[in-house]
Amino acid sequence: DTAVSQTPKYLVTQMGNDKSIKCEQNLGHDTMYWYKQDSKKFLKIMFSYNNKELIINETVPNRFSPKSPDKAHLNLHINSLELGDSAVYFCASSQVGGAGNSPLHFGNGTRLTVT
C-alpha cells in the first residue's frame, strides 16, 4: 500500500559505474520529483516531471538523467558515478503540477554510497 515507493533502498557501487533508481507512485499524482539529501541533511531539488514532461531541471550534472515512462513512474539513471554522488535520493510526488499548494509525498529514500 506504499504511496511512493523507490528501489533499491540501499545502493553501494564503485566509481565509474552506471546505476538506476526507480520510483513509482500510486496516488494518481500528476507531478513527480527527485531530491538529493546530502550528508548534512540539506535537501535540494534535482528534477520535476509533470505528466511525463520535464518541468524542472536544476543545475545537475549531465550524468544524471531522469526518465518518466508514464506519470506514475520517474526513474533516475546516473552515469559514471563519482564519490560526490553519495547521498540519499528521495523521490516525491504531488497532486498539482508545479507543486503550488499541494504538499509533497516522499518515498523512503535510496542511500547511494559510491566507493
Partner 1 sequence: AQSVSQHNHHVILSEAASLELGCNYSYGGTVNLFWYVQYPGQHLQLLLKYFSGDPLVKGIKGFEAEFIKSKFSFNLRKPSVQWSDTAEYFCAVNAGDKIIFGKGTRLHILP
- Give me the residues that bind partner 1 (CB under 8 A), please: 33, 35, 40-45, 48, 55-56, 90, 92, 94, 98-101, 103-109
Nearer to partner 1, 92 or 112 (CB): 92
- The whole-angstrom separation of Cα 74 and Cα 115 is 26
Cis peptide before 8 (omega within 30 of 0): yes
Q: Which residues contact 100 (CB under 8 A, 6 or more apart)?
A: 94
Query: In the bound complex, what is the minimum distance in angstroms from residue 80's beta carbon to partner 1?
Result: 27
The SS3 call for residue 22 is strand
Query: In the bound complex, what is the minimum distance in angstroms from residue 104's beta carbon to partner 1?
Result: 6
Nearer to partner 1, 75 or 110 (CB): 110
Query: In the bound complex, what is the minimum distance in angstroms from residue 17's beta carbon to partner 1?
Result: 25
Most distant CA pair in the chain, distance: 40
